[in-house]
Amino acid sequence: MKNFFSVKDVFNVYDLIKETIYLKKNPYKFNNIGKNKTIGLVFFNHSLRTRISCQKAAFNLGCNTWILNINKDSWKIEVNDGIIMDNTQEHIKEAISVMSLYCDILAVRTFPNLINKDYDYKEILFKKILKYSKVPIVNMESATLHPLQSLSDLITIAECTNFFKKRCKVVLSWAPHVKALPHSVANSFSQWILKINKIDFTIVCPKKYELNEKFSNGAKIRHNQNEAFIDADFIYAKNWSSYLYYGKILGDHRDWMITKNKMNITNKAKFMHCLPVRRNIVVEDSVLDSDDCIVLKQAENRVYASQIIFLKILQSLS
Ligand code: CP
């Protein structure tokens, strides 16, 4: 594996999930491969899980890490080309080129501006990072995708279903939020889960919150949450802003919160969320605190999702 941007960089998703589950059982098996190797972790946006799980993954492989929080720890970075830099101190061209001299893998989290659909969906910033880096790049969440989260989500479902041994129904449910959020988790989850044959996949959201078809094509799209929840084995809750009215929140929709009553409609479904989650806005306490909630399992699997990707890249370097 040269770079890891999306599921398209994965040769076989089933094999990758199997290998990750094996790695989870043998986390230190490859702890020599990272000797004298460094992974740089660069954040243009906040993080708790991604930041720490990637550090732990690197540690399990014997790698060093460094972390840079752009615009907090570094000079203010200019990302536009041909600009007179009156208000910014360092251009992304030099910044990424230099950072890539100080590591063997560069993992980067960017963000969408949620204003310019074209800029976000063309992944302009991430493409610049890929262009200027001299080492392999790992996507720790870009403007439109969060592949390490999705791999972790699929591992979690595989573990709960004994590696997809029987057909199951997974529902990605839009849930309310107070802020306009990116589409990356939802797009990416959809893109990955549609690779698994035995999963019956539904996306339920209010009208005008449909995701970009490039990622959701193949999913059943529904607008009635209660109907969509019938027979569900997994409910994955996530808020996203409108794609159609790009980056906008279209009303309150508090009645879309995931509640115990709604979970009772399902087939004793497991509750999933990528975290962080706003309690009693996205999901009721009683759901998040129930035995059917598997959000911590998802978070735990973030370590092994990152570890397998770093391992594959390190193997390709040696
Ligand atoms: N789920 C996730 O990516 O969490 P962080 O934003 O805290 O990294």
pLDDT in tens, 219-269: 999 999 999 999 999 999 999 999 999 999 999 999 999 999 999 999 999
Which pLDDT score is estimated for 11?
A: 96
Q: How far is the CA of 29 from the centre of ligand 1 (A)?
A: 26
Is the pTM of the predicted complex or chain greater than 0.85?
Answer: yes
Is the distance from CB of 314 to CB of 33 less than 8 angstroms?
yes
Q: How far is the CA of 141 from the centre of ligand 1 (A)?
A: 9
Q: CA 120 to CA 124: how far, in whole Å?
A: 7
What are the CA-CA distances from residue 156 to residues 63, 170, 211, 297 (Å)? 25, 12, 23, 7
- CATH fold of 7-146+302-317: Rossmann fold (3.40.50)
Nearest-CA residue for atom 3 of ligand 1? 50
Please indicate whether the domains covering 7-146+302-317 and 148-298 agree at the CATH topology level: yes
> What CATH superfamily classification does 148-298 receive?
Aspartate/ornithine carbamoyltransferase (3.40.50.1370)
* Token couple for 313: 């890249």
Q: How far is the CA of 98 from the centre of ligand 1 (A)?
A: 26
Which residues, at least 6 apart from 186, have a Cβ–Cβ distance to it below 8 Å?
172, 174, 203, 211, 215, 238, 240
User: Quick one: which atom of ligand 1 is closest to the CA of 50?
Assistant: 8
Q: CA 95 to CA 81: how far, in whole Å?
A: 13
Which pLDDT score is estimated for 318?
A: 80
Q: How far is the CA of 85 from the centre of ligand 1 (A)?
A: 32
Rounded average pLDDT over 275-295: 98
Average pLDDT along the chain = 97
Rounded average pLDDT over 275-286: 98
CB-based pocket (< 6 A), ligand 1: 47-50, 141, 149, 274-276
Rounded average pLDDT over 81-94: 96
Q: Is the pLDDT of residue 292 over 90?
A: yes
pLDDT tens digit sequence for 201-229: 999 999 999 999 999 999 999 999 999 99
For the chain, domain boundaries: 7-146+302-317, 148-298
Which pLDDT score is estimated for 105?
A: 98
Rounded average pLDDT over 61-88: 95
Q: Is the pLDDT of residue 71 over 80?
A: no
